Structure 1
Amino acid sequence: MTQSQLARLAPDATPEAVVEVIMRDGGVVIEGLFGDSTIEGIKKDLDPVLDEVDNGHDEVFAGNRTKRASGLFARTEHMATIALNPLYRSVAERILNKPINIFFGEESVPNPTGMHVGATMAIKIGPGQGAQPLHRDDSVWLWRHPTYQREARVQIMVAVSDFTAGNGGTLVIPGSHLWDDERPPRLDEAVPTEMKAGSALIWIGSTYHGGGRNTTADQYRFGLSMGYDLAFLRPEENPFLTYTLDQIRSFPEEIQRALDWSSEHYVGWVEVDGQMSDPMDLLGRDDYTAIGAGLPGRA
C-alpha cells in the first residue's frame, strides 16, 4: 500500500537521518530549509526570466502551460545557495560518493566516485496544466532497477511558491525506488508534495515522480530544481555551452568544480603543454580566453 504522504523532517535533521528516510521511502520533505531572503531573491531574479519564455510545446512531458528556464547559476546568485546548502550537499555525498577499491599494480586503493551538477531548472506550472507522466530521472542513463549498489542522482526541488495538491505539487510514489523495471507507475499511487515556500523535496533518481496537475484558476506553482549526479555520468545540461568563461570564473570554486571544471575524479582532464592537466588550472591563466579554443601550449 502506498503511503498517503512523504515523511517530513526539520532543517536541523542530521544528514544520516535524511539519508535513512530517503533510502526507505525514495524521498523526503525538509521543511523551511531556505529562508525568506533566498526565496524572495529567487523570485526577483527569475520571475522576469520566466515571464519572457514561452510555454512548453507539448502536452505530454514539457507541458503546454508550463514555463521553464535553465542555466540558473548565471541567472541568480541564489542558485549557489541551493547547491551548497550543507544538508542537501551532505545527503548527496553520502548517497552518491561510494568508493570502490581498485588495483594500482598490486596495491588496492579506494577510488571515489564524486558528483557534479547534472541540470538546473526553474519551473512554473500554470493553471490548467495536466499531470506530467510519472518517470525516473535516472532513465536517461538507462539505469536498471532496483539499484542495490549505486544511485545515479540526488535531486532537490525547492518550493519558491507554496506547493499544494491543487496547484501541481510534485507527485511522488513513495517506495517506487525499490521496484523493478517491469512494474509501471500508476497515477493513483502517487502522492502530491505539499509544502510551504522555502521547504524542499529531496529524492533519488530511481523514484517515480512528475509534475502535478494544476487545477487552480490563477495560481502558478513555482519550483527550482537541480540534481547532483555521479561525476562519471554525462550531465543532462551541458555546462560548457550553457555558461561563458567569464561566468564560470565568477562562480565560487565549489560551483566551478561541480560544473565539471575539474578532473579530480580522473575524468575531464585537458592536455596543456604536453601534460594531462586539471581544467581548474586554466581558469587562472590570462592566456586562456575561450572554451574549446586557444588552449595554452597549442599552436
Structure 2
Amino acid sequence: MSIRKLAATSSPQEVSAVLQEDGVVCVQNFVTPETLSGLKQDLLPLLGQAAAGDDAYFHGDKTRRLSRLFARTDHVAAIAMNPLFLEASRNILQANPPTVWCGDQQSEVVPDIQIGATQVIQILPGQGGQPLHRDDFVYLWRHPSPQRETTVNVMVALTEFTHENGGTRVIPGSHKWDDERMPKVEETVSAEMNAGDALLWLGSTYHGGGANVADAPRTGITMPYILAFLRQEENHYLSIPIEKIKAFPEELQRLLGWSMGQTYAGWIERNGQIVSPLELLKLEEFKEVGLLP
C-alpha cells in the first residue's frame, strides 16, 4: 500500500478522509517557497550548532533535534495555521463529541485541540532506522480506540526526503491494528517528498525515521496537534517568551495552550474568579509566568 499524495489545493475534508482511511497522507507544496526559505534561514544555522543525540535506540546518536520553534522563528506559525493541517486535525480529533450530564442539563462537548510539541529533526548520514512506534504511546492509548484519536502529526520537509536519506517510514492502514500486532520494517513505505511537502499521520499509525545511507542530511519539522485535555509533550509555557506569545493571534495562543476548555480544563484563578489564561495575555503588567496580577 502506497502513501497517497494530495495537492495543496485539496480541501481539509479530503485530507481528513484519506487520514481516516489510510492513517497517513502526503500534501505536496504544503508551505510556500517564502515560508520554506524563512524556516531554513532561521533554523538550519541553529541546528548546525546542536549536538547529535546520545540515545542510539530511539532519538538517534546521529540525529540533531531542536525544539522551542515558536521562540526561534516566526515562520513556524504558517505550519500550525495551515488549514489543511489545522482543520483536518479538528475533523479527526473533534469527531463524535460526547454528550455529558451536568445536573439536569445534557450537552454535547467538543474537545479542544492544542499543539503538543515542535521539533526540527535532522537525520545525518550513518543514522540507523528509528524503531517503529505510534505517537499516542505517550498517552498509553489502547487500540483500536472505541472513542477517538489523540494526535494528528505533520512532518514538513525542509530538504528532499528519499528512501536512501532516511525519509519517514510509515505503515499505511496500521491505525486499524490492535495492540497485539507487532510492526515490521518490511511492511513500511518510505515517505518520499520534495522540500516544502508535508506528511500527515494519525497518532495510531506506526512510523519511524528511516536509515540514512546517503551522503547528505534529511531535515524536517514535526508538530502534532493533540486533544487539549492531554498534557503537551513540550512545555510551551516555559519555552516561549511571554511577549512573543502576546504578539500571536488569539487562535494561535489558544492552540499553544493559553485557554480554558469547555470542561474548564486549564483555568486560572484571578481575583477570586475562574478565568481563562487568555485574560492574562491581555494585561500589560503580565510579563512573566508565575506572576499573576
TM-score range, shorter chain: over 0.9
User: 1:157 — aligned with what?
Assistant: 155
CA distance in structure 2 between the aligned counterparts of 1:273 and 1:249, rounded to whole angstroms? 21
Specify the alignment match of 1:84 in structure 2.
Answer: 81
Residue aligned with 1:164, SS = coil
- Structure 2 residue 64 is the aligned partner of structure 1 residue 101: no
Aligned position for 1:210: 208
The SS at the match of 2:210 is coil
TM-score w.r.t. the length of structure 1 is 0.95
Matched, 1:220 2:220: no
Identity of paired residues, percent? 47
Q: Is the 8 A contact 1:151 1:204 kept in 2?
A: yes
Return 172-181 or 31-40, whichever deviates more.
Answer: 31-40
Return 266-275 or 252-261, whichever deviates more.
Answer: 252-261
| Range moving further from structure 2, 135-144 or 96-105 | 96-105
Could you give the per-residue CA deviations for residues 50-72 of structure 1, whole angstroms, max 9, x where no partner exists? 01110011211111111100010
- Please report how far the alpha carbon of residue 264 of structure 1 lies from its aligned counterpart in structure 2 after TM superposition: 3.3
The structure 2 residue matched to 1:182, chosen from 158, 174, 180, is 180
Name the residue aligned to 2:123: 125
Q: Kindly state the Cα deviation for residue 116 of structure 1 after the two structures are TM-superposed.
A: 0.3
Q: Tell me, in whole angstroms, the C-alpha distance in 2 between the residues paired with 1:250 and 1:261.
A: 13
Q: Distance in 2 between matches of 1:171 and 1:136?
A: 12
1:43 counterpart residue number:
40
Q: Aligned letter for 2:84? A: L
Q: CA deviation at 1:289?
A: 2.9
**Equivalent residue for 2:139?**
141
Which residue is equivalent to 1:71? 68
What SS does the aligned partner of 1:119 have? Answer: coil
Match of residue 60, structure 1, among 27, 42, 57: 57
Whole-angstrom CA distance in 2 between matches of 1:288 and 1:17 = 42
TM-score, scaled relative to structure 2: 0.97
Q: Which letter does structure 1 place at the counterpart of 2:118?
A: T
Secondary structure of the corresponding residue to residue 224 of structure 2: strand
Q: Tell whether the 8 Å contact from 1:147 to 1:206 is kept in structure 2 after alignment.
A: no
Amino acid at match of 1:191: V
How many residues are aligned here? Answer: 291
Amino acid corresponding to residue 35 of structure 1 in structure 2:
T
Contact kept, 8 Å, 1:83 with 1:89, in 2: the verdict is yes
Secondary structure at 1:68 match in 2:
strand
Deviation at 1:194, TM superposition (A): 0.2
Q: Give the deviation of 1:286 after TM superposition.
A: 2.6
Distance in 1 separating the partners of 2:27 and 2:284:
43
Counterpart in the other structure of 2:226: 229
Of 246, 253, 257, the match for 1:260: 257
- Counterpart of 2:244 in structure 1: which amino acid? Q
What is the rounded CA distance, in whole Å, between the counterparts of 1:23 and 1:221 in structure 2? Answer: 28
What is the CA distance between 1:101 and its match in structure 2?
A: 1.1
Between 69-78 and 12-21, report the one with greater CA deviation. 12-21
Q: Could you list the runs of 5+ residues in structure 2 that have no partner in the other structure? A: none
Q: What pairs up with 1:272-287 in 2 under 5 angstroms? A: 272-287=270-285
Deviating more after overlay: 270-279 vs 280-289: 280-289
Q: Distance in 1 between matches of 2:70 and 2:8?
A: 23
Tell me the secondary structure at the aligned position of residue 79 of structure 1: helix
Distance 1:203 1:121 in 2: 16
* Paired residues of 1:115 and 1:230 also in contact (CA < 8 A): yes
- Contact preservation (8 Å) 1:147, 1:178: no
Partner of 1:15: 12
What are the ranges of 5 or more consecutive residues in structure 1 without an aligned counterpart?
none
